[in-house]
Amino acid sequence: MNLKDKNAIVTGGSIGIGTSIVKALAQAGANVALNYRRHADEANEVVAEIEKLGRKGLAIQADVSSYDAAMEMVKKVVDEFGSIDILVCNAGINRDATIWKMEEQQWDDVMNTNLKGYFNYIHAVAPYFREQNHGRIINITSINGMRGKFGQSNYAASKAGIIGLTKTVARELGRSQVTVNAIAPGMILTDMAKKLDQKWLDIAINETVLGKLGEPEDVANLVVFFASDFSGHITGQVVSVDGGQYI
């Protein structure tokens, strides 16, 4: 799948699944800009890896929950790269608690990052995509947005909201030849996940039908497919990458 000369933005691209997505897009030929909030060193390392591949890389400190920061980042990327073709909304946080213990700030923080953050960047790229009559939007959601998860009412609600956002924007931008799809990972073996107590990993493994957890590259490979011409007639879809964990 060839993304040569395509320009992409990946939110939350400095760590975890986001880093794998950035690298996969660059390996496929794209120039990639990523945002970070706190992980400046990691973001700069990712940019260095992009540039080793002969692509343009750009790291921008931006809080995805800020509407103004999103507008400024997209404009800067267009100024630096010349255009924008691909948006991957990936940045997310969790602030877990049962509904009777959850504080208002925990709810607001997760919704502002996980859902409003996606709106901010989609809203910012939409005029460019409409004008050029082309674009790819890939939203990272979660199987917990489809099934719910004990202690994650805020996270699950935000991820369910991303699914509704995906389908609606697919309808709104379809006539502009913009495809909008979502990927719903299950438990993925990121560096953070590897630090969990083994009992929690075992629970997730036992939920799968393949008997194993996914790797960040499993998600990244699907992002590249959705960003490519191979997926040109697919839009408004949610694809799970979970080894059968949800079914």
**Maximum distance among all alpha carbons in the chain?**
51
Task: Give me the catalytic one of 67, 118, 155, 246.
Answer: 155
Active-site residue, 155 included: yes
Within a 10 A sphere around the Cβ of 99, how many other Cβ atoms?
A: 11
Within a 10 A sphere around the Cβ of 105, how many other Cβ atoms?
A: 9
In sequence order, what are the beta bridge partners of 59? 34
Q: For residues 14 and 23, is the Cβ–Cβ distance under 8 A? A: no
Q: For residues 241 and 219, is the Cβ–Cβ distance under 8 A? A: yes
What H or E segment, with its residue span, contains residue 33?
Answer: strand 31-36
| Sign of the CA dihedral with 81 first, then 75, 59, and 16 last | negative
Residues annotated as part of the active site: 155
